[in-house]
Structure 1
Amino acid sequence: MVMNKLNHILFGVLLSISSSGSAGDQVPIRIGVQVAGTSGWELSALEHDPQKAVRSFTVAAQPLANAEAGKIALQSGAVDMIVSDWIWVSRMRASGADLTFYPYSTTSGALTVPGDSPIKSIADLKGKRLGIAGGELDKNWLLLKALAKKEGVDLEASVEKVFGAPPLIDQQLKLGRIDAALNYWHFAARLEARGYRQIIDGKGILQGLGITEPVANIGYVFKQGWANAHKQAVNDFLHAVENAKKQLCSEDQTWRNVIPMLKANDHATQDKLRQRYCSGIVQAGGKAGQQAAERIYRLLRELSGNRLTGEAAALQPGTFWTLD
């Protein structure tokens, strides 16, 4: 019932976006959207933008059950754009696909424990039950192991690992069946609002590994050929969502419009979600950022034994889309 209500709220908003203005010269952009994803927040901000009637694009949304469904929809041509990660984009480019990536957010997962937990650091995880959202190739897990190894801790051998879907890991921590959870950022943010503590987040892990330049964890992904054919509309859309991000973080009314999508009635959770979301805003482009991404790529390739990145020795040219 709750999910149906959220679908109605979100896609009612998106329908009004796609039907606004004169569609004669506007390029339709079909976006695959997960109901729980923050891209829906930004599309809501676009809907309330007074400039929407004179845009070069319209937005039509297709609901997605999960991230894998989005990848299938994009590759099959059912949608033009999804939110995904650049590691997957590079791997697909190495296999001949023409996908490209535009940075969205640096916010990633976080290691969270109960407020009264004796765990204060990564080293304190030894002998504990650690819940990990996703599987053995989860990027945060691979990088956390690398940081722990740098600090002299072998997490692979010293913790009891519990892998599972993000909601399951979240529930296991709340029930006390695991001692710590490495989960997606919005689960961690909701827990923080309830008194749980964050030991380290994805950005902190990278900084511990010597990568200090902000690098987007996720972004908008689309086919380069399609984008080249509609470059003005695509770039206008990307500029518009960047502005929407800023509005969500600086204008309270814009933020209030998305609160029904949060599934959070208390102000503490709403405020924490906004805080964590806004801390992840990243400026696209820049040679330093792409060099940092290349370092992360090589590290993840080594840590995963090529299973996450594929066989390509380096990040593929064209992985990142740049605005002209």
Structure 2
Amino acid sequence: MTITRILSGAAAAVILTTAAWAEDAVLRASVLKFGTVNWELDTITHHGLDTANGFDLQVQGVAGSAAAQIAFQGGETDVIVSDWLWVARQRAAGRDYVFIPYSKAVGGVMVAEDSPAQTLADLKGDKIGIAGGPLDKSWLILQAYAEKAHGMELAAETEQVFGAPPLIFKSALSGEVGAAINFWHFMAKMEAAGMRTLIDVSDAARDLGLDPETPLLGYVIKGEMLRDRPALVNGLAAASRAAKEKLAGDDAEWDRLRDRMNAKSDAEFEALKAGFRAGIPTPGPVDEAAAGRMLELMVELGGEDLLGQATELPEGTFLQNGS
């Protein structure tokens, strides 16, 4: 064999290895088209935080969380955003999914500025709009809190209207409902429109002995990716943390993102920015004991309909690498 052929073969091997690495380093993320996670993902790609951490992030917008979950379960995407309680349910059912913390932001109860209500007890007989369904985690926590703090059966003593977050947002502003439970970014918009917070879910959770620092939302990946390509998973966690650091301290970064945020006014823009920053989790591993307490409460309140076979925190639910 000639030296030329040997060198040609070596070069071809390098090209093939490089191509395989590049393909392996692609990370496909399917997220809600207009979800707030896009602000972080945009920051990652705009500043090259993905390539700096050894991967190429490709973002695909989907219409709803169900579509993302189907794509994820079918292998059409590598990462989605969901809450860790869903991950715990899937792990209990035998699916090896892993949660990487993204946000601890939760919603709350909003009322009109001139509403006479000062506590949940004052909503007796009122109509409450709730983003999601009867098993919405915020709604469950608020029911437990109302019973503990006020001896009130919130579901029995109020009328509930369940719907998508934008619908609840509009119903609250129009006065069709006396109070609204919505996600944090809609709460920010409602506050900018002149409504006020009756109680935050984080405050209710704290009163119930839960830790409001427990991140609820996060990136979900499959355990096989963590086993086979740990550098890729840890790269995602590192890129996410780097993006959060930019968004936590750089107002100019938010000015760049403003068009994506769909803020209708300066007040709404500032409220969204503040809400996102407040939801940034503390660096480091998730407190699994605190998460276990939350899961136990959710099992008590939502049962099998919410958590399936999960009755305690499954081992391996969280990526625990300090990111």
TM over 0.5: yes
Compute the displacement of 1:109 (Å): 1.5
Equivalence for 2:153: 154
Distance 1:265 1:170, change over 3 A: closer
Q: How far, CA to CA, are the matches of 1:273 and 1:165 in structure 2?
A: 19
Q: Map 1:20-35 onto structure 2 (within 5 A).
A: 25-26=21-22, 27-35=25-33
CA-CA distance at 1:205 after TM superposition? 1.6
With over 3 angstroms needed to count, the CA separation of the structure-2 counterparts of 1:50 and 1:105, relative to structure 1, is closer
User: Counterpart in 2 of 1:308?
Assistant: 306
Q: Does the residue aligned with 2:218 lie in a helix, a strand or coil?
A: strand
Distance 1:252 1:280, change over 3 A: same
2:197 alignment counterpart: 198
SS class of match (1:150): helix
- 8 Å Cα contact 2:130-2:162 kept in structure 1: yes
Q: Which residue of 2 aligns with 1:247?
A: 246
Structure 1 moving runs of 4+ over 6 Å: none
2:77 to 76, 79, 87: 79
1 CA distance for matches of 2:297 and 2:248? 33
**CA distance, structure 2, for counterparts of residue 279 and residue 120 of structure 1:** 24
- 1:48 to 1:60, Cα distance in 2 relative to 1, 3 A: closer
1:52–1:83 CA distance, 2 compared to 1 (3 A): closer
1: CA distance between counterparts of 2:212 and 2:117? Answer: 28
Q: Please give the per-residue CA displacement for 1:104-127, whole angstroms capped at 9, x wherever unaligned.
A: 111012110111111111111111
Q: CA 1:274–1:135 in structure 2 vs 1: closer, same or farther (change >3 Å)?
A: same
Distance 1:54-1:245 versus aligned 2 partners, 3 A rule = closer
Asked whether 1:119 is paired with 2:120, we answer: no
Residues 127-152 of structure 1, C-alpha deviations (whole Å, 9 max, x = no match)? 11111111111111111000000021
Q: Answer yes or no: is the 8 Å Cα contact 1:142–1:304 preserved in 2.
A: yes
CA deviation after TM superposition for structure 1 residue 45, in Å: 1.3
Instruction: Summarize deviations over 1:50-89 as a string: whole Å, max 9, x none.
Output: 6665441001111110111111111011110011011111
Q: Secondary structure at the match of 2:190?
A: helix
The answer to whether the 8 A contact 2:202-2:212 is kept is no
In 2 relative to 1, CA 213–162 (structure 1 residues): closer, same or farther, beyond 3 Å? closer
Q: What secondary structure is seen at the aligned counterpart in 1 of 2:170? A: helix
Confirm whether residue 258 of structure 1 aligns to residue 225 of structure 2. Answer: no
- Listed as ranges, the matches of 1:142-181 within 5 Å are 142-151=140-149, 152-181=151-180
- Unaligned 5+ segments in structure 1 are 1-21
Letter aligned with residue 300 of structure 2: E
Partner residue of 1:101 out of 99, 123, 134:
99
> What is the DSSP-based 3-state SS (H/G/I as helix, E as strand, rest coil) of the residue aligned with 1:307?
helix
Cα gap change, 1:312 to 1:175, in 2 (>3 Å): same
Task: Determine helix, strand or coil for the equivalent of 1:306.
Answer: helix
Once the two structures are superposed, residues 213-252 of structure 1 have per-residue CA deviations (whole angstroms, 9 ceiling, x without a partner) of 5111110001010222111122112111111012112112
SS at structure 2 position matched to 1:37: coil
Task: Return 115-124 or 137-146, whichever deviates more.
Answer: 115-124
- Give the C-alpha shift of residue 312 in structure 1: 2.7
Where 1:305 maps in the other structure, the secondary structure is helix
**How many Å separate the matches in 2 of 1:135 and 1:294?**
23
Describe the superposition over 1:171-210 as per-residue Cα deviations: whole angstroms up to 9, x where unpaired: 1111211000001111111010111001122211211212
Q: Structure 1 vs Structure 2: percent identity of aligned residues?
A: 39
Return the alpha-carbon distance in structure 2 between the equivalents of residues 214 and 198 of structure 1. 19
Computing the radius of gyration over CA atoms, which structure comes out larger, 1 or 2? 2
Equivalent position to 1:45, from 43, 46, 64: 43
Match for 1:128: what amino acid?
D
Aligned length in residues: 302
Question: Unaligned regions of 5+ residues in structure 2, if any?
Answer: 1-17
Q: Give the TM-score normalised by the residue count of structure 2.
A: 0.89
Decide which moves more: 42-51 or 60-69: 42-51
Q: Distance in 1 between matches of 2:31 and 2:140?
A: 27
Change in CA separation of 1:315 and 1:173 when aligned onto 2, cut-off 3 Å: same
Distance 2:147 2:220 in 1: 33
1:17 equivalent in structure 2 = none
1:226 is the counterpart of 2:198: no
